[in-house]
Structure 1
Amino acid sequence: MRYVSAYLLARLGGNENPKEVDIKKILSSVGIDSDDALVKKVVSELSGKNIEELIAAGREKLASVPSGGAVVATTASTTAAAPDSKAAEPAKAKEEEKKEESDEDDGDMGFGLFD
C-alpha cells in the first residue's frame, strides 16, 4: 500500500509517469525502506494507465464486497429479542460472575483507612 501511495503522491505532485527512483525518493523522505521488487511491480503495473479510471473500477469492485456489519446486528437483535433462550443464559451467567468478581476486587487492596 505504501508503494501505491507513493506513486499517487508523485502523480499528484505533477509527475505524469513516476519512475522507481521517484517512489524510492518519496518513501526514503519519510524514513521508509523500500523493496526494489515491489517498487518495480507497482511502476510496471501503473505505468501509462489512467489513475482515475483505476480508482473508479476499484470502487465498483469494493461495492460488491459484502460487509459483516449486518450479520452482527442480526445476531445481537436475535439475542436481545429472546432473553429467555438458552443462548442468553451463558451470557447472564458470565455477567453475574463478572459482577461478583468486581465486588470482591473493590476491597481495601491491603490498605486500611484506620489500620
Structure 2
Amino acid sequence: MKYIAAYLLLTSGGNTSPSAEDIKTVLSSVGIEAEEDRLSALLTELEGKDISELIAEGSTKLASVPSGGAAAPAAAGGAAAGAAEEVVEEEAPAEEKEESDDDMGFGLFD
C-alpha cells in the first residue's frame, strides 16, 4: 500500500510516469526503506497504464460490492456495549465492599 501511495503522490504532483528511484525518494523521506521486489512488481503492473483510468475502473468494481450487512454488527455492538455497562454497574458495589474490607475495621489513626 505504501508503494501505491507514493506512486499516487508522485502522479498527483505531475510526474506521469514515476520511476523506482522517484518512489524510493518519497518513501525514504518518511523513513521507509523500499523493497526492490515489491517496487518492481508494482511498476511492472502499472507499466503503460493510465492511473486515472485504473482508479475509475476500480471505483466501478467497488460500487458493485454489496455492503448492506454493516448495520447488523453495529446493532450487535450497541447491545454488547449496553450489556457491558450493566456488568460494570453490578461490579461497582462489589468493589466498594472490597475497599471496606481492606482496612479490617481499623482506622488510619486508631
User: TM-score, normalization: structure 1?
Assistant: 0.68
Could you say what the CA RMSD is over the residues aligned between the two structures, in angstroms?
A: 3.2
Amino acid at match of 1:69: A
Amino acid at match of 1:99: E
Amino acid at match of 2:70: G
- Structure 1 residue 75 displacement after superposition: 5.7
Match of 1:32 in 2: 32
Q: How many residue pairs get matched?
A: 101
2:105 paired with 1:104? no
Q: How does 1:1-115 map to 2 (within 5 A)?
A: 1-67=1-67, 68-72=69-73, 97-106=87-96, 107=99, 110=102, 115=108
Q: Which runs of 5+ in 1 are unaligned?
A: 80-90
- Between the aligned partners of 2:20 and 2:54, the Cα distance in structure 1 is 20
What secondary structure does 1:21 align onto? helix
What secondary structure does 2:90 align onto? helix
Amino acid at match of 2:72: V
Match of 1:87 in 2: none
Amino acid at match of 1:3: Y
- Structure 1 residue 53 displacement after superposition: 1.2
Q: Percentage identity across aligned positions? A: 43
Q: Per the alignment, do residues 10 and 73 of structure 1 end up closer, same or farther by CA in structure 2, a change over 3 Å counting? A: closer
- Structure 1 residue 96 displacement after superposition: 5.4
- Between the aligned partners of 1:97 and 1:18, the Cα distance in structure 2 is 56
User: TM-score, normalization: structure 2?
Assistant: 0.70
- Structure 1 residue 108 displacement after superposition: 5.3
